[in-house]
Homo-oligomer: A and B are copies of this chain.
Amino acid sequence: MSAVLYHFAFDPGSRAARLALGEAKLPFEETPVRPWEDDCPIAGLNPSGMPPVLQVAETGRPLTLCEPAAILGWLEDRSREPFLVPADPAERAETRRLTTWFDRRFTDEVDAVLLHERMEKPLLRLGPPEARALRAGREALRAHLGQFEGLLAERDWLAGRRLGQADIVAAAHLSVLDYFGEVAWANWPGLKTWYMKLKSRPCFRPLLADRFPGVQPSAWYTDLDF
């Protein structure tokens, strides 16, 4: 089997795909892309123009998997046992609720504000970050982190007793914010323990090697015992 992942290292959706492929121990080639550039190869693969896209060729015809849902869904389909969506019906429901939460709420309230200011503005040369937007994004992030801390007070992993898709998707988003030093882990001890467990897994290693042009990672970004 051959697999090529088109991804942008600091796109949370792309990171979710890399983490899930890593958890599946499925080897893949990488094609880093810059989706905001005119000649980005993603434009010819995914009508939304956005990474991640995974092209796979197994025994049958080649498959083009666009968006995290298609990539994670395909990994789930080809696994004999439940893989990132747990077998328990309540945990399956919670996994899907939390995936929607990150796709909509977290993306809209946190990423679209904080990652726009810290990441998109330098990439697209849109000028310096605005203090008011940073404050609003950080306040929204605190509210979200408080919710996750609450879940982890009663559970080992975000959706229940097993590591799964909710954790992968959450870690994908939080790891980008963590690179930019936006996650005050000391305030969220349950979440910090959860993140340390995830960060020590082999699937996480490639993400810790990512570097954003002109921005050093936070002092603890690569530290497994922060």
Contacts and interface: CB of A to CB of B under 8 A. Distances in A.
Interface of A: 46-48, 60-61, 63-70, 73-74, 77, 89-90, 92-94, 96-97, 99-101, 103-105, 107, 147
29 contacts: A47-B97, A47-B101, A47-B147, A48-B105, A60-B89, A61-B90, A63-B89, A63-B90, A63-B93, A64-B93, A66-B97, A67-B96, A67-B97, A67-B100, A67-B101, A68-B100, A69-B96, A69-B100, A70-B93, A70-B94, A70-B96, A70-B97, A70-B100, A73-B93, A73-B96, A74-B93, A100-B103, A103-B103, A104-B107
A82 to B, nearest CB: 10
Contacts of A93: 63-66, 70, 73-74
A contact patch SS: helix
Given A48-B100, A64-B93, 8 more contacts: A47-B101, A48-B104, A67-B101, A70-B97, A70-B100, A73-B93, A77-B89, A104-B104
Given A48-B105, A103-B104, A97 B74 contact: no
A122 to B, nearest CB: 23
Contacts of A99: 69
A100 to B, nearest CB: 4
Copies of this chain per assembly: 2
Contacts of A104: 48, 103-104, 107
